[in-house]
Amino acid sequence: MRPQPTSRSCFVCGRENPVGLKVRWLQDEAAGEIRGTLTLPEHFNGYPGVAHGGIVAAVLDETAGRAVLVDGGFEDLMVTAKLEVVYRRPTPTGVPLEAVGRLLRRGETRAEAEAELRLADGTVTARCSVLLARPPEEIRSRWETEREHWRVDPA
């Protein structure tokens, strides 16, 4: 497994986002998977001790979206066109979690991926399926300023 680059400002992975989760990603090309570990702080709760469903969805969305990068790079970034989340059980705050994503299909302008959030014992708390799309050039061109900051920082 090798580290995957991150951005500066993304809410889930941005290294410099002061309110972000700062998830670091490892990719396993042989398995076709992306993995990230995180602990959701209590201030992201919906109820005491339980992560807000929107935060869980954000983590799953990022994880599935990063699956298209397992054998690609910055130019392969896509955006979410459709996200379907199934919440299987409450996701606790304050405990280590693992996010795992897999690419199912990729075409020139669309891709399908899935992701799940797991407790340390492997129990899945939520999973998603995602349809990703290549955004129009006027959107993609705005990303170019971030390219120089797209990197793996030493841990």
The pTM assigned to this predicted structure is 0.93
pLDDT tens for 20-69 read: 999 999 999 889 899 999 999 999 999 999 999 999 999 999 999 999 98
DSSP 8-state code for residue 43: G
Phi, psi of 49 (to 5 degrees): 80, 0
Domains of the chain: 2-147 (3.10.129.10)
pLDDT tens for 60-118 read: 999 999 999 887 777 788 999 999 999 999 999 999 999 999 999 999 999 999 999 99
Any idea which residue has 């030493």 for tokens?
A: 154
Q: At 80, which amino acid appears?
A: T
pLDDT(155) > 70: no
Contact assessment for residue 34 and residue 70, using Cβ atoms and an 8 Å cutoff: yes
Contact assessment for residue 16 and residue 9, using Cβ atoms and an 8 Å cutoff: yes
- Cα(9)–Cα(149) distance, integer angstroms: 10
